[in-house]
Homo-oligomer: A and B are copies of this chain.
């Protein structure tokens, strides 16, 4: 048995069931080994950013790591942006990065580069295996690191000769990752949290791993019992939403509005969330969004058992159950297609249990509102701000769940990783993609006002426009094998969504919105 095969056996023993791969020459022994380990589903991606974003989506949905298979430094670099998003989502991910044979590195061949430097910026776990007999243990160590808690990106470099060398002794059992327990919240912090919550003018800010329906229910009971606000971080990795679920208000993206949102608070209790800060800095706007007079209690830093913390608060407060309002159904829109009617169409048609991969950027406010009382669903957002996440994340979510995914994708963002569409077609994934065409980097038209970088010039305006030439998104999707349609009215959109949900496999719907911010 060679090293690559031992690696795959270790993945199987650790129940790693998916490998999102963009292999090259150095990874050919790994690829050959896939034939013998069918439990590790190999999914080909045409670009590494698809593979890494898919691994992130897989992890968010299943809370277990998928593997990526990448080709030397350039492969890792191509996947880096979505690994950055995965890091911010605290997703467990295992990168396997093929490299030159150990003895070949010193010759500085064309593809040689400092992989460790690129990996180090992911602030996760890194190791280079030097002998085939060490691979199994190294993989288990990598998976232990990936699981955390909190989850992180683990990168294992696999030199070609380590792949092709024989493992001298095949162990009787393959090593298995250790999954350390969540730590318990501190009594002092629990007491402080109770104290400030009881005093009033306080809020619970939930985030991270505290956003499943059961924990949100607990958080909602705490908020109701103490008349506190319940707020969710701006960009949750994954959150349960919809009819019958507690819906926190969302921390606003725009710093100046977020500062106003938090201005009245005397205390903020963090449960899995970080102290809120501005996404960007703006001239004359504070970076820290909470006022200096607001006490911050960090009840559950990363790796803490948020459920235990919330349950403790519920018990201490004897917080009663929540009576959920009957869902107010969104009516299917007709007529003109704009951001509002688009959002209403999504809200009115959403099936139960759908996974939403949201990279809708400037459209999100309407979409978030229109789906609040749709059937129960889960929503994933752009955690790290590195655009090009939405379609790859949808791939991974579909593979992990086997269920329907709805990708809400802005035209500008979609153009970073359109290759994901091909993998959806190839694997027959049940993904409905809304390609939101407004022919501009609408968010930058907004942001340049906010930073005060206004100019009347045609050159700078043209840098934010995507309409010359127009991107034909539905033709693009079709060229990559995804059935595709363009809609220009709300009625057509509603019909297309319903058809897509009733049809196995991916479908791309190009949604023609008014140009720019709308």
Contacts and interface: CB of A to CB of B under 8 A. Distances in A.
A25 B447 contact: yes
Interface in A42-57: 42, 44, 46-47, 49
A46 B418 CA distance: 11
B109 A463 contact: no
A26 B280 contact: yes
A499 interface: no
Given A77-B77, A459-B38, A472-B479, A25 B280 contact: yes
A277 B109 CA distance: 6
A44 to B, nearest CB: 5
A88 B113 CA distance: 10
Residue of A72, A384, A453 contacting most chain B CB atoms (<10 Å)? A453
A78 B104 contact: no
A74 B481 contact: no
Assign chain A's interface to a size class: 35 or more
A292 interface: no
A24 B78 CA distance: 19
How many chain copies does the complex carry? Answer: 2
B88 A110 contact: yes
A458 B36 CA distance: 11
Contact of A28 (B104, B161, B277, B453): B453
Contacts of A35: 455-460
Nearest to A425: B469
A415 interface: yes
A374 B109 CA distance: 31
Contacts of A110: 88, 235, 279, 383-385
Nearest to A416: B47
B280 A118 contact: no
B463 A31 contact: yes
A435 to B, nearest CB: 11
Interface stretch (A179-187, A281-289, A352-360): A281-289
Interface in A217-258: 235
B77 A84 contact: yes
A21 interface: yes
Nearest to A283: B164
A444 B451 CA distance: 48
A252 to B, nearest CB: 14
Contacts of A4: 453
Contacts of A108: 274, 277
A175 interface: no
Residue of A108, A418, A463 contacting most chain B CB atoms (<10 Å)? A463
A53 to B, nearest CB: 12
A81 interface: yes
Nearest to A280: B25
Interface in A123-157: 123
A123 B84 CA distance: 22
B100 A78 contact: no
A74 B81 contact: yes
A198 interface: no
Interface in A446-474: 447-448, 450-460, 462-464, 466, 468-473
Contacts of A280: 25-26, 100-101, 104, 109, 111, 160
Contacts of A387: 74
B164 A287 contact: no
Contact of A386 (B111, B278, B451): B111
A32 B459 CA distance: 8
Contact of A121 (B117, B425, B466): B117
A478 interface: yes
Nearest to A43: B463
A84 B476 CA distance: 29
A13 B348 CA distance: 57
B74 A80 contact: yes
Contact of A479 (B32, B455, B479): B479
Contact of A107 (B23, B77, B287, B473): B287
A426 interface: yes
A464 B77 CA distance: 22
Nearest to A77: B80
17 contacts: A25-B451, A29-B451, A31-B453, A72-B385, A78-B80, A78-B416, A84-B113, A103-B287, A109-B278, A109-B385, A110-B235, A114-B120, A117-B121, A160-B280, A161-B283, A471-B481, A472-B481
Given A74-B386, A109-B278, 7 more contacts: A72-B385, A73-B80, A73-B121, A78-B388, A101-B280, A160-B451, A164-B453
The 7 closest A-B pairs by CB, nearest first: A35-B457, A469-B481, A74-B386, A77-B80, A28-B453, A101-B281, A104-B281
